[in-house]
Amino acid sequence: MRRIDTLSDVEAGLEALVLADMRLAEIRGRAHAVPLRRSEPGFESLASIIVAQQVSTASAAAIWARLKRAIDPLTPEAYIAGGEDAWRFAGLSRPKQKTLLAVSEALAEGGLDLHGLCDLPAEEAIAALTAIKGIGPWTAEVYLLFAAGHPDVFPAGDVALQTAVGPAFAHETRPDAAGLRQLAEEWAPWRGG
């Protein structure tokens, strides 16, 4: 599997997308340069994605900063040891506390290898991540995009992505996850490009 590791990889992905769907050529011409957005695979990367779920960017940044202050270094073992006082101090919701605990326990017990997931086909990696209570497809897909540089992962459930695609493709309404996933089928194997 080719990963998106460099700006050249981003460009190659964009070229492949335009060839797969000519409607993207006009959009690409209007868009700004697409940056390389990668994070290091591992617990911190997945934890930051979980923290950012369904909150504003500003709220996510504030919660993340408090979590990093409360638990330093932020490792699975330290998260477990930090306990509810540290989690509450950070401002984590109860569901996010539980999800991060489930991830931490899976990593500490050896049942989850976040680095190894980066080398798996998308479907297998998503299945491994979503097997953990509290991790859904969006979280798994975003982790694979940013931590693994997976070229063919597409978080169709992302509301911001749905909102952007609607007007870009002259849809009268914002497409739902199923509609967006269907639209992106022809972009394989560069849906994440």
For 125-129, the CB contacts below 8 A with 24+ separation are: 125/150, 126/153
Using left for φ > 0, alpha for ψ between -120 and 50, and beta otherwise, residue 24 falls in alpha
Encode pLDDT of 108-154 as tens digits: 999 999 999 999 999 999 999 999 999 999 999 999 999 999 999 99
36 SS3 class: coil
- Token output for 102: 């489930």
Encode pLDDT of 9-56 as tens digits: 999 999 999 999 898 988 888 888 888 899 999 999 999 999 999 899
- In our burial notation (b when 16+ CB lie closer than 10 A, e otherwise), range 19-51 reads ebeeebeeeeeeeeeeeeebbebbbbbbbbbbb
CATH no., domain 43-146 = 1.10.340.30
The residue among 170 and 9 whose pLDDT is bigger is 9
Q: Is the pLDDT of residue 193 over 80?
A: no
Q: Is the pLDDT of residue 84 over 90?
A: yes
Omega prior to 167 cis, within 30 of 0: no
Encode pLDDT of 172-181 as tens digits: 889 999 999 9
Phi and psi of 35, rounded to 5°? -80, 160
Q: What is the dihedral of CA 138, 158, 169, 28, to 10 degrees?
A: -80
Q: Is the pLDDT of residue 81 over 70?
A: yes
Q: Is the pLDDT of residue 1 over 70?
A: no
> Sorting pLDDT into bands at 50, 70 and 90, what band is 170?
confident
Neighbouring C-alpha atoms within 13 Å toward the C-beta of 185: 6
CA distance 138 to 46: 12
- Looking at the chain, the domain(s) classified CATH 1.10.340.30 span 43-146
Average pLDDT of the residues of the chain: 93
For 44-48, the CB contacts below 8 A with 24+ separation are: 44/74, 45/114, 45/143, 45/146, 45/147, 46/103, 46/114, 46/139, 46/143, 46/147, 47/74, 47/79, 47/100, 47/103
Q: What is the dihedral of CA 147, 139, 9, 162, to 10 degrees?
A: -160
What is residue 130's predicted lDDT score, i.e. its pLDDT?
98
> pTM of the predicted model, to two decimals?
0.91
- Token output for 89: 């101090």
